[in-house]
Copies of this chain bind each other. A is one copy, B any other.
Amino acid sequence: MKDSTRTRTSREAILDATDRLLARYGYKKMTIEDLANEVGIGKGSVYLHFSSKEEIALSHIDRIIERLKTRLVGISNESGDSVTKLRRMMIDRVMYRFESVQHYTQSLNELLARLRAKLLDRRRRYFEEEAKIFARVIEEGKKSGEFECKDPMETARSIIDATNALLPYSLSVHELGERSEVENKITRIADLLLLGIVSRKQ
């Protein structure tokens, strides 16, 4: 195994362990030592990859977003009409995040409260990256005559803003348990937003 591969593998293993331990202990109780034990490496090896528990938790969230972006790019590259793809992408960006934290909804509140300030700054970047993927599909639908809008990137940003209140960050523990309620809400918003951009000439 190459060094770079090994480095990537243990970094991934630490983040996998984080995902399990957030469910088992919660953020506050989880220690670097617990993580090292769970992976089967020394504490020092954890510090080779991450400087603090906070950085590990934030990297764990980064990884969820990276995986989501891969899914969104996948949908955007499929064949088919732009309306259907954009609708699926809006619903997927909410539901994928929802599923990703389902096994630790009880401790999520504590994690998000503790990381609030840093996470809010990070979210700006996440949202801009997602908006770029959405903008490509809107541009494509504009060319095909399916959509009507002036600036695809601005419209993409508005769509991101308009669906952000349904991300786990803004949901209570109760709402995080209500998959169908969240899915209904995002579906209704998606359909309302689509009505706002589909071409009226069709």
Contacts and interface: CB of A to CB of B under 8 A. Distances in A.
B121 A162 contact: no
A165 B173 contact: no
Nearest to A173: B117
A172 B116 CA distance: 9
A54 to B, nearest CB: 14
B200 A192 contact: no
A192 B193 contact: yes
A112 B76 CA distance: 36
A113 interface: yes
A170 interface: yes
Given A112-B116, A172-B121, A200 B197 contact: no
A171 interface: yes
Contact of A170 (B155, B158, B165, B188): B165
Interface of A: 109, 112-114, 116-117, 120-121, 123-124, 154-155, 157-159, 161-167, 169-175, 185, 188-189, 192-197, 200
Given A120-B173, A120-B175, A195-B197, 7 more contacts: A120-B171, A120-B172, A157-B185, A158-B192, A159-B192, A161-B188, A162-B189
